[in-house]
Structure 1
Amino acid sequence: MATLLHIDSSALPFGSTSRDVTQAFKENWLAQHPEGTVVYRDLGAQPVPHLDAAGISAGFSDPATHNDEQKAAMALRDELATELENADVILIGAPMYNLTIPSTLKAWLDQVVIMGRTAGENSTLAGKPAVVVASRGGAYGPGTPREGADFAATFLEKALTDFFQLEVHVIIPELTLAKVNPAMAELIPLSEASREQALAQAAGKAKELAARVAGA
């Protein structure tokens, strides 16, 4: 039975482009795998704790030596890591907040980077496909005034590839603030086109990966 791990990190419960696009992916995934499993984490609504001293020290010490605080911290890290390991495909909604990813998503990432297990040369996640929906309010592509200032999509792609050895696919709907920022009103048609393209890419990628998992 195919399993999709779906993670959203937008602080907005409604009106979120990243949520809309991940939802499109999930719906198309389930159309191909109606009996499949979707494990969902909404980091905007239910954030995980930031990695603290107990969690860090527990990750680099013998479990037999852990105190109660370390045991509790490592139990959470193990739960989150196991969700990743059990997934056939990983889907992450990652809106850009102030040039990078939401702090809630960074907190989750810090928890699941466990050296010698999920992270490192022999990562238990190596080769798994991951789809990142990296929405952003403006435009940061080649030739734009803010070219090179995207530290959300670029960061996630690097982190997921280097730490976990995942096969990363990035979908970028941009200019999402055009409808709410009067100064960007003339960009609304481009914003709408980017959104529709992202929805189509999500649908196509979901069908592609669902077929691959089914044939594995």
Structure 2
Amino acid sequence: MATLLHIDSSVLPSGASASRTVTAAFRRTWEEQHPGGTVIRRDLAAHPVPHITADAWSAGHVGPSERTAGQSAAFAARLELIEELERADAVVIGAPMYNYTVPSTLKTWLDSVLLLGRTAGEAPSAQGTPTVVVASRGGSYAPGTPRESFEFVRTYLEAVLGRTLGLDVDFIVPELTMAPRNPAMAELVPLFEASKERAHREAVTKARALAERLTAEAGR
């Protein structure tokens, strides 16, 4: 049966997090389509992965028999994350914008799973895995907006997830999430509500389409 890797990185709990509510909608739809499937859950805010260290990094460039005890222990933590990614038939990632980029916890996860010669390089081991990123943000950084040039979430993740890890990346972008809480953005609340509804519809639609596609591919 199909396996979904579900990653959240918002520091806020489900009820208060725009990205978590959308990834949850994606996951629920996925589980409806794959009731016997597996979901690997990674909540990077509740359970942060270790920051990359010299031992964790250098261990990826030597053989197992050449590693020190420290390198072996550090690499084991990386290997667990790498194997989760490689086992996944699909990935959904909650990536809210914090100070114009991704949360540090998500960056740490990426640092761990990116391993040249395995997940990156000429033949990335998870190449082609469909991946939906929920890139929520408090304002709007869409083309033509005043802060378009401050958008470092989508551009960064397209480079790392898509061009480096070789994943098949798609985005859902709930925006203006600060509008209900910021009086200066009050006039933007209707646009926020429309964006929120659109994001939830896209989550359901994309999860259903992806589940159907993988089921069809498995039946060939």
The alpha carbon displacement at 1:67 in A equals 1.1
Name the residue aligned to 2:170: 169
Structure 1, unaligned runs of 5 or more = none
Name the residue aligned to 1:131: 132
Deviations 1:105-154 (A, max 9, x none): 00000000011111111111111100000000000012211012110121
Name the residue aligned to 1:6: 6
Name the residue aligned to 1:147: 148
Instruction: Tell me the SS of whatever aligns to 1:41.
Output: strand
Checking the alignment, whether the CA contact within 8 Å between 1:9 and 1:93 is kept in structure 2 is yes
TM-score (norm 2): 0.97
Name the residue aligned to 2:206: 205
Distance in 2, Cα, partners of 1:53 & 1:181:
42
User: Do residues 54 (structure 1) and 47 (structure 2) align?
Assistant: no
TM-score (norm 1): 0.98
1:96 maps to a residue whose letter is M
Runs of 4+ residues over 2 Å off in structure 1: none
Name the residue aligned to 2:189: 188
Distance in 1, Cα, partners of 2:8 & 2:174:
15
Distance in 1, Cα, partners of 2:208 & 2:51:
34
Distance in 1, Cα, partners of 2:199 & 2:104:
24
Instruction: Tell me the SS of whatever aligns to 1:74.
Output: helix
Q: How many positions carry a matched residue from both structures?
A: 216
RMSD: 0.7
Checking the alignment, whether the CA contact within 8 Å between 1:141 and 1:148 is kept in structure 2 is no
Report 1:6-155 matches (<5 A): 6-14=6-14, 15-155=16-156
2:180 maps to a residue whose letter is K
Distance in 1, Cα, partners of 2:172 & 2:158:
11
The alpha carbon displacement at 1:158 in A equals 1.5
Deviations 1:171-214 (A, max 9, x none): 10000000111111111110010010000001000001100111
Aligned-residue identity in percent: 57
